[in-house]
Amino acid sequence: MKTDKIMADFQFLNNKVIEFHIQNNLLNTEDKTIKIDCDMDYEIVSCNEFEDRYLGIVDFIVDLSGKIRDNEAFKIRLIMRGNFVGSKIKLSINSFEGMLEVNGTATLSQISRAYLTSVTSLSGMFPINVPMVNIYAMKKYKEKSLDNKSQ
């Protein structure tokens, strides 16, 4: 099937790492249990309307920490930024913003997972496979958290 017939009205343009920190205190960890905590979030940085299209920027944030007993073994922070474009002919600005939040976040979460697996493996650590997340559940949780803060 020709892709021009099935191309989505929302497209990923590119991504870049805008922040990355790793603190690795792992040494002789054989036979030791490492408890890993993972926190993920996203932020719609911008959503702009132009004459012929919409452009949006999304940040996907991952914070990882590992502990052996009560001792910190490692800390990692990654902020992955993605740029997205949408068809102004087929989408409203509200639809585009919703796609940034769901589709953009989903795209960046997978890129971030691959990045973290690779960089941890190359850092003398065990490769960390960040769990896949339900983006819709993440969105609802974020909305609920914001509602609770405003009350």
Per residue in 44-60, pLDDT tens? Answer: 999 999 999 999 999 99
CATH superfamily assigned to domain 14-138 = SecB-like (3.10.420.10)
Q: Which helix (H) or strand (E) holds 68?
A: strand 53-68
**DSSP for 32-55, written as a single string:** ---EEEEEEEEEEEEEEE-SSEEE
Tell me what pLDDT residue 125 has. 82
How many residues does the structure list for the chain?
151
Residue 119 neighbours by CB under 8 Å, 6+ apart: 20, 22
- pTM, entire model: 0.90
Residue 31 has pLDDT above 80, yes or no: no
Residue 17 neighbours by CB under 8 Å, 6+ apart: 78, 79, 80, 81, 115
Do 46 and 58 contact (CB within 8 A), yes or no? no
